[in-house]
């Protein structure tokens, strides 16, 4: 997942950087670096974030299956499904 994808996902969940960072137990500064593309985003952090925000994740993935427009695009939904396998 790219930093821009992470940012779009966070914003689609109406979460702040600090709340998102707390969910995966990293600093706000680390989260901001991920979103800016200055630091690699660990797959484990993405998985945890998606599990903790399961309803929103499921809605995003389902909308992509139906071809509905939402934040992130079809490629993001495909990658989220792959991460959770």
pLDDT at 11 over 80: yes
How far is it, in rounded angstroms, from Cα 48 to Cα 24?
6
22-76 tens-digit pLDDT:
999 999 999 999 999 999 999 899 888 988 887 666 666 665 554 544 445 566 6
The pTM of this model reads 0.70
Q: Which among 6, 11, 8, 72 has a CA at the least distance from the CA of 41?
A: 6
Query: Can you give the pLDDT at residue 51?
Result: 85
How far is it, in rounded angstroms, from Cα 47 to Cα 57?
11
* CATH number of the structural domain 3-83: 1.10.260
How far is it, in rounded angstroms, from Cα 54 to Cα 38?
27
């Amino acid at each position: 997942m790219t930093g821009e994808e992470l940012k779009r996902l966070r914003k689609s969940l109406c979460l702040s950087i600090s709340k998102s960072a707390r969910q995966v137990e990293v600093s706000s500064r680390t989260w901001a670096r991920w979103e800016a593309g200055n630091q690699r985003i660990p797959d484990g952090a993405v998985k945890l974030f998606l599990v903790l925000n399961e309803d929103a994740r499921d809605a995003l993935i389902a909308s992509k299956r139906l071809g509905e427009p939402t934040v992130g695009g079809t490629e993001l939904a495909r990658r989220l499904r792959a991460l959770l396998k």
